[in-house]
Structure 1
Amino acid sequence: MIQAQENMINEKGWAIVTGASKGLGFAYCKELLKKGFNVVGVARNTDTLDELKTINPNVEIKKINLDLSSNESAMKLFELTKDLNITLVINNAGYGVLGKFTETDLEKELNMINLNINCLHIISKLFIQKFQINNKGRIINIGSIASFIPGPGFSSYYASKAYVLNLGVAINTELKKSKSKVRLVTVCPVLLKTDFLLRITDGKKKANYSKFNSIDTNVFAKKSLNKAFKTNKNYIIIGKINKLVTLSFKLLPQKYFLNKIYKFQTKRKK
């Protein structure tokens, strides 16, 4: 399996990264270019990707401006790239709507669900079907540590990431059972040093990362990408402490964590 992934890199095929304009998506684009991939960066506005063109002049970077919060845009992405030698897709686009379920804006939640779930579902299906033709290729879907437990105070986001994880585990199991060489790996990060909190609080708050077991986005992109290329596992978590946290979700009473999460999320909203 490791050799197969090394061959994939050496072919210098194309990798698609959604949510590529900043944060983790931008970091993944940088790492992929260094590894010799040609990159298709997808976001509502991809102007920030221009600075990456000088990282490795021997590979290409294409920019596609799309709002993937509609089914039509997700399908359009496939149509625009189906003639390229795509060997890797990273479904990274997504965001959250913070607040109590009775108080959050329904339109924003539905838009989030379209992006976090529908878009990821469509792109995963279309490209896995394409990869099956040549029996090679890999999907990396970005879940979260939130995938493993309900999140009162941030309920729709946690639920959307649970969908990402459970869908990915099921698909990857199907692929392994059918002896396919295609793989879908779900990466589950904790809090990264991005502007995520600014978006979910409508620009009102910036995270104090010293309080959390957070990780630099570029470091996480490099570690998770290297591991996702090599692993045969259904999902990966980076860091021993983060693995222990997810394990504790299974071992300790759920009520304990629900109370902790509720207090934490409602405090962030204020």
Structure 2
Amino acid sequence: MENKQETRQKNVLITGSAHGIGYQLAYIFARHSYSLVLIDKDAENLRKIADDFINKLGISVKILVKDLSISNSPEEIFNELQIAGIKIDVLVNNAGIGTYGVFSETNLTQELKLLQINIVSLTHLTKLFLKDMISQGHGKILNVASVAAFQPGPLMAVYFASKAYVLSFSEAIANELEGTGVTVTTLCPGPTASKFQKSAAMEESKISHVNRMMTTETVAKIGYDSLMANKTIAIPGIRNQILARSVRFAPRNIVTKIVRSMHELRK
């Protein structure tokens, strides 16, 4: 008698999947014959993506229009999938936002949204889906952090701190899950050509004009390949790898000053 767990279609849930890295990850998983559960607050784009994937790739796509800055969204997502009988094999916590400016002057409401999306909802979704993965004896989690996770970030203080949480949290539970069949990978991209800079209102900062930003396609492919290889941390690009590792050997106050310089407005 066949094992249903082995023969059923695998399902991936991806947050923030209407644009950027999230969309590219959805496309990669779709090409590898995963059924998709796509989460985003952009209903129009989600529907276009779902129709495109269904028509061109012939896969199953379920969309859930949710705003992860609302605290009960993770519970709603989990409950709706439970009712639909959809088991999640891969969880991709990609949704995230940034804020830019001197902390004493930035918008508190936006920063609380950032903390809810980047930290609380990510943790909540991981908690909800992890237990089923452990009981199934298999599963993968991809948490999208940033090279920002490796150092303090003046002018983006809350964003950098949120990504440091994602990295620390993910590394810790990756260790806890050894031997369970469930793996956790943290993707830490550097500056990427996407809508992030505009949404964070940092288009005129020096860091937004670095040469040869990586594409979302490249970052997503590295994230997918690293997830499938069970890597704990994936840092796309040699330059980003050097940046992330080298800060351990420099005095923290010097690192902080360098990051501040990189994020200041162009003159």
Q: Compute the TM-score of the two structures, normalised by the length of structure 2.
A: 0.90
Paired residue type of 1:28: L
Whether contact under 8 Å (1:192, 1:217) holds in the other structure is yes
* Greater mean deviation of Cα atoms: 213-222 or 161-170: 213-222
Residues 120-151 of structure 1, C-alpha deviations (whole Å, 9 max, x = no match): 00001111111111111111000000001110
Is the 1:91–1:140 contact (alpha carbons within 8 Å) kept by the matching residues of 2?
A: yes
TM superposition shift of 1:192: 1.1
* RMSD, aligned α-carbons: 2.1
Contact 2:222–2:234 (Cα < 8 Å) also in 1: no
Matched, 1:24 2:26: no
Q: CA deviation at 1:80?
A: 1.3
1:33 equivalent in alignment to 2:30: yes
Aligned to 2:143, the other structure's residue is in SS state strand
What is the CA deviation profile of residues 199-253 of structure 1, one whole-angstrom value per residue up to 9, with x for unaligned ones?
0118x6599876245211112211220121112x321112222211111111122
Does the 8 Å contact 1:99/1:265 carry over to 2? no
Q: Which amino acid aligns with 2:87?
A: N
Stretches of structure 2 that go unaligned for 5 or more consecutive residues are none
Q: Separation in 2 of the partners of 1:79 and 1:238?
A: 34
Change (3 A) 1:218 1:207: farther
Is 1:157 the counterpart of 2:155? The answer is no
Partner of 1:140, secondary structure, is strand
CA contact (8 A) 1:21 1:45 kept: yes
| 1:159-174 superposed matches below 5 A | 159-174=161-176
- In structure 2, do the counterparts of structure 1 residues 249 and 206 end up closer, same or farther at CA, with 3 Å as the change threshold? closer
Structure 2 SS opposite 1:55: helix
Matched residue, 2:9: 12
How much does 1:259 deviate?
Answer: 1.0
Q: Distance in 1 between matches of 2:161 and 2:207?
A: 25
1:112 has 2:110 as partner: no
Instruction: Output the CA distance in 1 between the equivalents of 2:35 and 2:115.
Output: 29
In structure 2, the residue matched to 1:222 is 221
Q: For the Cα contact (< 8 Å) 2:11–2:89, is it kept in 1?
A: yes
Specify the code of the residue in structure 2 equivalent to 1:138: K
Q: What are structure 1's unaligned runs of at least 5 residues?
A: 1-7
User: Given the alignment of the two structures, is residue 260 of structure 1 paired with residue 258 of structure 2, yes or no?
Assistant: yes
Matching residue of 2:54: 53
Match runs of 1:130-209 below 5 Å? 130-176=132-178, 179-201=179-201
Q: How many residue pairs were aligned?
A: 257
d(CA) in 2 for partners of 1:102 and 1:266? 16
1:10 positional shift: 7.8
Match of 1:4 in 2: none
Deviates more, 1:78-87 or 1:93-102: 78-87
The AA in structure 1 aligned to 2:95 is A
Structure 1 contact 145–246 (Cα < 8 Å) conserved: yes
Separation (CA, whole Å) in 1 of partners of 2:209 and 2:100: 21
Higher mean displacement: 258-267 or 116-125: 258-267
Sequence identity of aligned pairs in percent?
26
Residue 51 of structure 1, CA deviation: 2.8
Alignment match, 2:210? 211
Whole-Å separation in 2 of the counterparts to 1:45 and 1:146: 26
The aligned residue for residue 65 of structure 2 is 65
- Partner of 2:245: helix, strand, or coil? helix
